[in-house]
Structure 1
Amino acid sequence: MTRFTDEDRERIRAELIEAGHELFAEFGFDRTRVSDVTDAVGIGTSTFYQFFDSKEALYLEVLLVERDRIFERLEAELAGAETAREEAETILRTMFSQVRSSPLTSRLFVEGEIRLVEAQLDGTEHETADPGEIGKMLPQPDEWVARDDVSLDDPDVVRGVLRSLLFVTQAQGTPLLPTVAYEAVEDALIETVVDGLFADG
């Protein structure tokens, strides 16, 4: 077994996560092999298992890093929002942009892959009852529902509405929603939901 310094271990682990990020984004989980990741990093396949127990464990770590990146960006975008209405619109526009531009983000929030991987690692069955990671990471709806001008009184329902809108990205470029019409539909959905949520605003 190859011995690594703590510094080497930290560097190699970070490189494995970054290589995994690129490969999983391009090819997906099933078509990415451990050897593809180790070849990209320049280590042997057996060495991989000094860092991760399985390909699933690496994939989960990649998804968690992706989730953290998304919410860091979301937090930065929200810093410029001055009202609750602007917060809601910023959250939706940022999440739509992220889901459309990143296959991993789409898999996280639209396809719910983070739950599937966690279930595999736990040895438990996949459950769909949880509203998803976006629900845990967005505190704003808790504040919004306390307002007089907000039409919903359950923050989990608000989060569910925000998250469910992201599914429209799956229709882009299909006969259901041709690419030429998609942008206008997305804008209209965001405006309609925000106007409905802040009914008196």
Structure 2
Amino acid sequence: MSGFSAAERERIRAELIEAGRELFDRFGFERTRIKDVTEAVGIGTSTFYQFFDSKEALYVAVLRVERAALEREIESAVEVADGPREEVRALLRTMFREVRSNPLISRLIVDGELRALQDRLSAAEAASIDADARNAVDVVDAGDAGDAELPLASRWAAVEGFRFDDPELVDALFHALVFVARSRDAPIGGSDVAYERVEDALIDTIVAGLFAADE
């Protein structure tokens, strides 16, 4: 990458990721063009390819940064919770909120776009994106190249009174539950019950079902 200092390369790459994030958020992957991203950053298309091999590579970088941000949100919510039951409640509220409010998080968790796209990248490119994401944000247990993972699953599975001892099952359960967040704007059985009440009741039911009655 001749012509750019290390600081300039770091700045341009960060700006490409941020511009990509805004555009992917607004228009989605298919409708966002590389030209749109480069114009937002103020560089030429040829310069883009000094940083990313493809639009897919940029999108993966964006989703990995979003995943790390989600993990930080979950960690912040859980660390102030009083015990495992409230930790689960805090995690669910955070995940439901983020899936509702952030289209990229919805695509990351519900649609599994990160896993699908990373499967199309070379090992070297995926490794490079991973390193960039770790430099851009303080990744909390980002795990491997899969979708957003729940590092708390293993700890909860080991808690006495927690009904499931398989961390993979617990992880899959929480991922399945976030699909409900997409129903906020849809009628709920034709009733006028507010979505917030439904979500609160759902979370209470999940928490009660995950722990033995005397826990």
**Range of TM-score over shorter length:** 0.7 to 0.9
How many correspondences in the alignment?
192
Preserved contact between residue 98 and residue 105 of structure 2 (Cα < 8 Å):
yes
Q: Using the TM superposition, give the Cα deviation of residue 144 of structure 1 relative to its aligned residue in structure 2, in angstroms.
A: 2.2
Q: Using the TM superposition, give the Cα deviation of residue 170 of structure 1 relative to its aligned residue in structure 2, in angstroms.
A: 2.3
SS state at 1:120 partner: coil
Runs of 4 or more above 4 Å deviation: 176-180
Amino acid of the structure 2 residue aligned with 1:159: D
Q: Which has the higher contact order (CA 8 A, sep 6+)?
A: 2
Q: Using the TM superposition, give the Cα deviation of residue 76 of structure 1 relative to its aligned residue in structure 2, in angstroms.
A: 1.4
Aligned to 1:192: 205
Q: Using the TM superposition, give the Cα deviation of residue 158 of structure 1 relative to its aligned residue in structure 2, in angstroms.
A: 1.4
Aligned to 2:80: 80
* Residue 148 (1) aligns with residue 160 (2): yes
Structure 1: runs of 5+ lacking an equivalent: 124-131
Q: TM-score by structure 1 length? A: 0.88
Amino acid of the structure 2 residue aligned with 1:43: I
Which one of 177, 185, 200 corresponds to residue 165 of structure 1? Answer: 177
Aligned to 2:128: none
Aligned partners of 1:195 and 1:161: how far apart in 2? 15
Q: Note the aligned Cα RMSD (angstroms).
A: 2.1
Aligned partners of 2:82 and 2:188: how far apart in 1? 36
Amino acid of the structure 2 residue aligned with 1:165: L
SS state at 1:134 partner: coil
Preserved contact between residue 134 and residue 159 of structure 1 (Cα < 8 Å):
no
Q: Using the TM superposition, give the Cα deviation of residue 174 of structure 1 relative to its aligned residue in structure 2, in angstroms.
A: 2.3
Preserved contact between residue 108 and residue 148 of structure 2 (Cα < 8 Å):
no
Deviates more, 1:73-82 or 1:22-31: 73-82
Aligned to 1:121: 121
Aligned partners of 2:100 and 2:58: how far apart in 1? 23
Aligned partners of 1:177 and 1:134: how far apart in 2? 30
